[in-house]
Every structure is written in structure tokens, then in C-alpha cells.
Amino acid sequence: MSATTAGDEAMRAYGTQQVVPTFDDPAFTPLDKPLAKARVAIVTSAALHRPDQDRYTPADTRFRAFDRTDRDLIMGHWSPNFDHTGFQIDLNVVYPIDRLEELAADGVIGEVAPRHFAFAGNQPETVSELRLDTGPACAQELLADAVDVVLLTPV
């Protein structure tokens, strides 16, 4: 195996060893309308931020919101173990906002949400703040924007 390929394999192998949080009786929210009438938002863990927003600290549990028109975003992820160049070439490979606009224009989805959100993928291991504080706070922001569907993209 070359050093080039080893990175993703090493990280995926590490992923299998990770202790993950458990959810008793997880919720399942069916979409109560056709996708063609649904409002869709993207939430990513790529630690994206606008140049004028706070950078992420290494164990940042907060989220950043940006408008559907923002494109000059920065990937502030702290891990050196993931590719950043795909995002530099085309932000849609992490944050598919242009694709979402096209799906809305073609009537596949109803609408693109006015705001989209980012968290940092490297969270403290217990993810307690994400579960109990910043995650639910982000959900309230999404509900305030009348969002029906959230597409989650990981980095």
C-alpha cells in the first residue's frame, strides 16, 4: 500500500475502533409532504465559515450559519487527516449548494432553505454538548426557517 492510499484506509480502520454514542429509542420523523414541496437545508461537519465569522477552536462545539448565496467559505477543520483540496476546487463536493439550487429549479425539491449550517467534525468524544446544547439549538434555527429536510454531509 502506498502512503498516498494509506490515509483513507488508516482513518476508516480507526473509525471501526471508535466508541460511538448510543441513542435509546431513536426518533424517526417521516417527511409529511412530497419532496417536491419540501424545503431542504444542508448541515455539514466540515467546519465551514465565512471570512468574517469566528474561526473554529480545536474543540469547538458551536455552529456557524451562512446564507444560501454565500460562496466564499473557508474549511476550518482541524484534523490533518482529511483532504481539503476537493473543497478548494469545488465547494459542492462538501457543501452541495449549487446542486441543491439546481434540484429546486428542476422541481425535484420544493425550495432551498435561506440558511445553512456548519459544525466542526472533530467534537469532544462524549458529544454531550452537541446532543444537549448546540445540536438542538441548530434544530431550532432550522425549524424557524421552516426547513423540512436536512442533508448532512460529513468531513
Partner 1 sequence: MSTLAHVFEAAGLSTVVLASMKDVAEKMSPPRTLYCEFPLGRPLGRPGDVSFQRGVLEQALGMLGATEPVLETHPEVVESEEMPLVCSIPPRFDASLPPAVDEARGLRAAYDRAVNARGATAVGRAIDADAVTEALAALHRWAEGEPWQEVPLPGTNTIAVCHDIRAYYTEAALELATGPPPGGRAAEAWFHEDTEAGKTVMAARAALKEQGAPFPFWFYMAPAHR
Asked whether the beta carbons of 46 and 155 are under 8 A apart, the reply is yes
Shortest distance, position 107 Cβ to partner 1, whole Å: 13
Residue 151 makes contact with partner 1 by CB under 8 A: yes
Which one of 53, 62, 68, 92 is in contact with partner 1 (CB under 8 A)?
92
CA 52 to chain CA centroid, Å, is: 19
Which one of 73, 112, 118, 120 is in contact with partner 1 (CB under 8 A)?
73
Burial class (CB in 10 A: 0-12, 13-18, 19+), 95: buried
Report CA dihedral (8, 53, 151, 136) to the nearest 10 degrees. Answer: 110
Residue 115 makes contact with partner 1 by CB under 8 A: no
Backbone φ and ψ of 112, nearest 5°:
-90, 130
Shortest distance, position 151 Cβ to partner 1, whole Å: 6
Kindly identify the residues of this chain, within the stretch 3-62, that bind partner 1 according to CB under 8 A.
3-8, 10-12, 14-16, 18, 20-21, 23, 26-31, 35, 38, 40, 43-46, 51, 55, 58
For 103, the enclosing helix (H) or strand (E) is helix 97-105
Which one of 62, 68, 84, 115 is in contact with partner 1 (CB under 8 A)?
84
